[in-house]
Chains A and B, each alone.
Chain A
Amino acid sequence: MPMQEPGFFTRFMLAFALFFRVLFDATFAGRALALRAGSDSEVDHDVPQPAPVPPPAPPQLHEAPAEAALQLLGLLQREGRLMDFLQEDMSAYTDAQVGAAARVVHDQCKRALDSHLSLERIRNEEEGTRVSVPKGFSPSEIRLLGNVSGEPPFNGALTHAGWRVARIELPKLSDGHDVHIIAPAEVEL
């Protein structure tokens, strides 16, 4: 009969108890050592393995799901032809031509963004004004530039007020909808 696998909490408590027992009980430590040495070759996988020393944590990186990103690209193409704009060879056109088209793309992409997400500034001060960055500030919200030394609070000029998406609401997708199709090919009959 395969041994039951204990849950995380049970494992946590067990590891905790074993840690002290291995540390202070030499006989137990010897048995644990033997068990560990043989674990890879002899011990059945179903047998819970005591983990007296937690292994170093693996690097914490994860894949961002592509679905929402592709959907947003599709939306900006549909509403504002962003992909057409980015993919077109600009070198052939005058600034006036590019400017005229950019206006349409800008106008409609902004409209599309505004209706699907709420943008807010991270700092409400005017750019260029002096601001104070307190101790314990969030480094993901505030990037320090230039002469970064000493201890907070830091005083400096606000060069970019930052952007934060406060709310994002993308359309719901029907099952089987292929978000990789950013713009279908069009054939006029």
Chain B
Amino acid sequence: MSEPKHAVGIDLGTTHCAVASVEIAKSDRDTLALSGLGIPQVVAPGEVETRPLLPSFLYLPHPSELPPAALTLPWPGHPTDLVVGEAARALGTKVGLRLVSSAKSWLCQGSIDRRAPLLPLHTAEDVQKLSPLAATVEYLNHMRNAWDHAHPDAPLSQQLLSIGVPASFDPAARELTAEAARLAGLDQAVLIEEPQAALYSWLGVSAASWREQVKVGDVILVVDVGGGTSDFSLINVRERDGDLELERIAVGEHILLGGDNMDLALAFFLKGELEANGQKLDNAQLATLTQAARAAKERLLNLPDEQAAPVVLPGRGSKLVGGALKTELKRSDLERVLLEGFFPIVDAAARPASRPRGALTQLGLPYAQDPAITRHLAAFLGRQAGALGDSQQSFVRPTAVLFNGGVFKSELLRERIRGVLDAWLAGAGAEPVRVLPGADLEAAVARGAAYYGWVRSGNGIRIRGGTAMAYYVGIESAMPAVPGLPPQLTALCIAPFGMEEGTSAAMPPAEFGLVVGEPVRFHFFGSSTRREDAAGTVLEHWSDSELTELQDIEVTLAADQQRPGDVVSVQLQAAVTEVGTLQLAAVNIASGLRWKVELDTRDSATG
């Protein structure tokens, strides 16, 4: 591999992807040669355009659906049986059963086999389905080709590369993202948490002045609401050897809730309005309603003096005026649906409610049951009350906030979050938060990821942090079973909180007798709050809020080195790779043999 010329960042978003890069030779402490990559893509059959974003949609056309060469791209070897990007999104609005969307949300669903072809979920028999993993590989392949086309002398496989993942992605989803990169020929890729990338982007934009904008003791809350997920992180500003140091101290739970849900909620509201007026929507108009709702929302958010925005659904067929349906979105309704639905004013002790799923659920993805982002935020800050080592407080108190995600282009929503935070802080006798200025809401993840690559090569300041969870395996107790009760489970810590990339945990002394040739499953838990447990700590009791059960892990002792049926004694050891993924191994001390423990297993009960 020749010397990398660029540090490249990829934002692999739920609804959009983006690529940015730092040109290493032209960057130093004071100037950062940071630029976004235009991504050529089919925008309509037979038409190719270069755009800053690649919509994360994939369309599987019927063999006779499109004219020949309609999917031609500027580079050789492009797929002819599928298309990604704008054309996929547009074709999919009319033929939904051939559209793959939200692959990223499926990538973190432990309840499904993410390597199995299951997308599109509801489709026709003759559609060749794809796995969430394969769809992710297609997006990465497209971006790799776009990069190589623009930089024939510096192929992406030879550059420094960082790919953003939600901070709340579990170890299996991280591993699958890394695997997708390997399958796209990008073996060198490392992962970066998206809220951290947003902060890196802010550091890059602020250059040297960031040191004046924060001070020792600051706790920066990153609120990242993307198209499909909401992600929170806390970053603490500390002093070390006379210089400022940034440490990511906590990340939130995975919340499958984003800007798309907001547009969908508005669309459902408007559908009700139209039907109340006796106007009937056909399927195509329903599809354009979300788009019209989004346009009306943006209009009202951008024009604070207007009290209503017209919503017109043009008629189908070529009768545009004749078949048009018309209503309007009133500001009071927008505020009710958006602000009160997703950003209600709640107090710091509020917690998300679990209730029957409403209109937000679409096609089987387990969207967050409570759409109120402010309640999720309150729960996050409450759960992390001890993150700074002070257990007297009922919630951790941020001193600064950094917004990320296109949703926050609206000042109304930024102000709502800030107002809610300030009310909580005032109630606890603390100062209001400062909003860190200059955030680049839509491009920050790709740019910050690129900047992170440059930082990793020895420039600028690095955010410390390591893993944001401690990990445990469940062990069934050897006590005699009590009739009617499940066997008592204890949790053995195998990976402590805050493991840095490229390190291994100490091996807990507990030994397991595993039968060669038979797959063995372990219950697997994560905790975002138990910061002190060392590898080997055994928990007898814990509360539901302390430990979250993750997908089971599985190991099979291959029969090639041992006789099937033999019992081999192993210990479990955890490591965090340079890529940023968790790796578990079963080790037999006597022989030195190691077996990989699979994080991504299918739940045999439901799968």
In the complex, the answer to whether B48 meets A85 with C-beta atoms within 8 Å is: no
Instruction: Check: B242 CB closer than 8 A to any chain A CB.
Output: no
1/0 contact string of A80-102 vs chain B (CB within 8 Å) = 01001101101011000110110
Q: Contact between A100 and B322 (Cβ–Cβ < 8 Å)?
A: no
B 43-59 binary contact with A (CB < 8 Å = 1; else 0)? 11111110000000000
Checking A78, A85, A172, A176 against B320 with a beta-carbon cut-off of 8 angstroms, the contacting residue is A85
Chain A hits for B310, CB < 8 A: 100, 103
Chain B residue at minimal CB-CB distance from A82: B320
Query: Which residue, B40, B68, B326, has most C-beta atoms of chain A within 10 A?
Result: B326
Q: Which of B311-354 contact A (CB under 8 A)?
A: 312, 314, 317-322, 324, 326
On whether the beta carbons of A172 and B69 are closer than 8 Å, the reply is no
Q: Mark A114-140, 1 if CB is under 8 A from B, else 0.
A: 000000000000000000000000000
B74, CB-defined interface residue at 8 Å: yes
Is A5 an interface position by the 8 A CB rule? no
User: Taking the complex as formed, is A168 at the interface, i.e. its CB lies under 8 A from any CB of chain B?
Assistant: no
| Chain A count of residues within 8 A CB distance of the other chain | 30
The interface bits of chain B over 64-83 (1 if a CB of A lies within 8 angstroms of the residue's CB, else 0) are: 00011111101000000000
Q: Which residues of B contact A74 (CB under 8 A)?
A: 44
Known: A171-B49, A173-B47, A174-B48. A105 touches B320 (CB 8 A): yes
Measured CA separation A175–B310 after assembly (Å): 41
Distance A178 CA – B44 CA, assembled complex (angstroms): 12
Residue B214, interface by CB 8 Å: no
Nearest opposing residue in chain B for A179, CB measure: B46
**Contact across chains for B321 and A81 when beta carbons are under 8 A apart:** no
Residue numbers in A under 8 Å from B322 (CB-CB): 88, 92-93, 97
Contact B69 A88 (CB under 8 A): no
B295 within 8 A of A: yes
Question: Does B49 contact A176, Cβ atoms closer than 8 Å?
Answer: no
Q: Is A167 an interface residue (CB 8 A)?
A: no
Taking CB atoms, residues of chain B closer than 8 Å to A78 are 44
- Minimum CB–CB distance from B223 to chain A (whole Å) comes to 29
Bound CA–CA A177/B70 (angstroms): 7
Q: A85-B320, A100-B326 are in contact. List 15 more A-B contacts (CB 8 A).
A: A81-B314, A84-B319, A88-B318, A92-B322, A93-B322, A100-B310, A101-B314, A101-B321, A104-B312, A171-B43, A171-B47, A173-B47, A174-B47, A176-B67, A177-B46
13 contacting pairs across A/B (C-beta < 8 A) = A71-B47, A88-B319, A101-B312, A101-B321, A104-B312, A171-B47, A173-B47, A173-B48, A174-B47, A176-B46, A177-B45, A177-B46, A177-B70
Tell me the A residues contacting B by CB distance below 8 Å: 71, 74, 78, 81, 84-85, 87-88, 90, 92-93, 97-98, 100-101, 103-105, 107, 169, 171-178, 183, 186
